Amino acid sequence: MGSNLKILDGKIVLVTGGSKGIGFACAKLFGEAGARLVISSRSQSNIEEALKILPNGIGFAADLSQDVEAAALVERIAREVGPIDILVNSAGAAKRSPPQELTPAFWRAAMDAKFFPTINVLDPVVKAMAARGHGVIINIIGAGGKVASPIHLAGGSANAALMLATAGLGSVYASSGVRIVGISPGLVETGRVAEGMAADARLAGITLEAAMERGVQKIPMGRLAKPEEVADLALFLASDKARYITGVTITMDGAQYPVVV
Architecture of domain 2-251: 3-Layer(aba) Sandwich (3.40)
Domain ranges of the chain: 2-251
pLDDT band at 210 (very low <50, low <70, confident <90, very high): confident
261 confidence band (pLDDT: 50, 70, 90) = low
Q: Cβ contacts of residue 232 below 8 Å, gap of 6+?
A: 1, 29
Q: Which of 41, 27, 31, 39 is nearest to 9 (CA)?
A: 31
pLDDT surpasses 60 at 260: yes
- pLDDT tens for 155-196 read 999 999 999 999 999 999 999 999 999 999 988 887 777 666
| Global pTM value | 0.92
Q: What is the pLDDT of residue 104?
A: 95
3-state secondary structure of 140: strand
pLDDT at 1: 42
- Listed in order, strand segments (DSSP E) in 76-234 are 86-89, 135-140, 178-185
Distance CA 54, CA 142 (A): 25
- Sign of the C-alpha dihedral computed for residues 188, 190, 194 and 195 taken in this order: negative
Residue ranges of the alpha helices (H) in 6-66?
21-32, 44-51
Q: pLDDT per residue over 111-125, tens digit each?
A: 999 999 999 999 999
* pLDDT of 16 above 50: yes
